[in-house]
Copies of this chain bind each other. A is one copy, B any other.
Amino acid sequence: MVDTVGIVGLGLIGGSLARRLTERGVRVIAWNHRSHPYAQAEADGIFCKSTLSELMDAEPDVVVLCNPLKAMPSILAALAPLMGDHPNTTLTDVGSVKGMVRDQVKAAALGKCYVGAHPMAGNELSGWQAADPHLYDGALWAITVDESTDYRRFLDVAAMITKDVGNRVIVVDDETHDKAAAMISHMPHVVSTALINELVANPDRNIAAALAAGCWRDMTRVSLTDPDRTRAMVEEDSLNVEVLLRRMAARLTDMADQLHAGADGEQDVMGFFAEGDPFRRYKAAVTRAGITAAQAGTATAQQAGTTAAGFPERELAVPEAGWQQTLLFSARRGEAITGFIHPRQAIVQLRPAM
C-alpha cells in the first residue's frame, strides 16, 4: 500500500526510520533542516531533497514529520500549500505529545490528511550520527485518531508501521495517549527530579550519596538527562502531569500518615504495598511470555523482524462505523496490531493484561 515515504528531519528518530525503511525495500525521500547528513544518507540509499517542495514532488504516500516539536508550527506552515497539490499524501508525525500536535496540524488546515503516531523507541543519544535501524527492533507505536480520521489514511500509516517497519501498533485517541505518556514517563521524570532535589537539600547529602546503591541509581537515572528537554516534555503535557503529581502527592502523604499512626496504621501500610500486585503479576506474566517466545521462536522472530513472535495472535474485525472505538477497546485489553489480512480484518497479538 505504501511505496514511497517522505521523512522530514533526519535526527535520531527520523534517521533511524529512514534507514530501516530503506533496508526493508521502501523508497525513502528525506529533507533535513541542515544538509550535513545527506552524503551518508544518500550512500545508505535515501533520496535527500533540498526543499520540502522537492520532497513533495517525489509523491510520497506518507510523510512522517520527525522534526523537533518546537519546529512543528513552521514546518506545518511550509507544508500546508504543498499538501494541497498532493491530496492523496497522508501526513503523520512521531511527536511524544499528540493533542498539541493535532491542534497545530488543524491550525495549519491539514487536519483532513493527518494521522498521529508515536513510536516507543529512542535512547539517550540524538542526531543522525546516532541513527540506527535497530532502534525500532520490537517497538510498539501508538497511532492517534479522532472521529474525523479517514480510515484509508489510518491504514496507510498502520501498514507502513506493521509491514514496512515491522513493528506493532495500538490505536488510541490523543487524550488517552497523552494521559498514558504522563503516567509512565512525564510524571515519573518529575518524581525522579524531585528525588535528586531532595538529596541536594539534605545536609548529609555526601553520606547519603556514598551509601546509595541500585535503588537510587535506577530511580534517578532519568533526572540526569538534559533537564531542559525534560522540562519541555513536561510543559507540553502539563495538564496531565499536574493531575498525576497531585495524586502522587496524596499517595505519599497518605503513606506518611499511616507510618505516623504506627501500629494503628499497620493494615493500611500492608494495603499500600499490596495495591500494586496487579502490576507485579503483569510484569511476571510478560517476563514469562517473553522467555517462552524467545525460546520458541528466536530464528522465526528474527526473520519476521519482530522480537516476540511467540505471543499468540488472533483476527479482529474492524467495523466501518466506530472503528476508532473498536481499536481503542482492543488496546485496552492489552492487544496490539501486527498486520492486516484485508483492510477490515486486522491481526492482533495478545499480550498479558492487568
Query: Interface on A for B, CB 8 Å cutoff?
Result: 118, 120, 122, 140, 142, 170, 172, 176-177, 179-181, 183-185, 188-202, 204-216, 218-224, 227-228, 230-231, 234-235, 238-239, 241-253, 255-256, 259-260, 262, 269-270, 272-280, 282-283, 331-334, 336, 351, 353-354
A18 CB to closest chain B CB (Å) equals 21
Tell me if B191 and A273 are in contact (CB < 8 A).
Answer: no
Known contacts A206-B333, A256-B242, A215 near B198 by CB under 8 Å: no
Residues of B within 8 A of A228 (CB): 273
Known contacts A242-B260, A259-B234, A274 near B227 by CB under 8 Å: yes
Q: Name the one of B202, B213, B221, B332 contacting A120, with C-beta atoms under 8 angstroms.
A: B213
Tell me if B191 and A252 are in contact (CB < 8 A).
Answer: yes
A200 to B273: give the CA distance in the assembly, Å: 12
Residues of B within 8 A of A242 (CB): 256, 259-260
A280 CB to closest chain B CB (Å) equals 6
Tell me if B191 and A219 are in contact (CB < 8 A).
Answer: yes
Known contacts A215-B185, A224-B283, A269-B235, A193 near B256 by CB under 8 Å: no
Which residue of chain B lies nearest to A274 when distances are taken between CB atoms in the complex? Answer: B227
Residues of B within 8 A of A283 (CB): 224
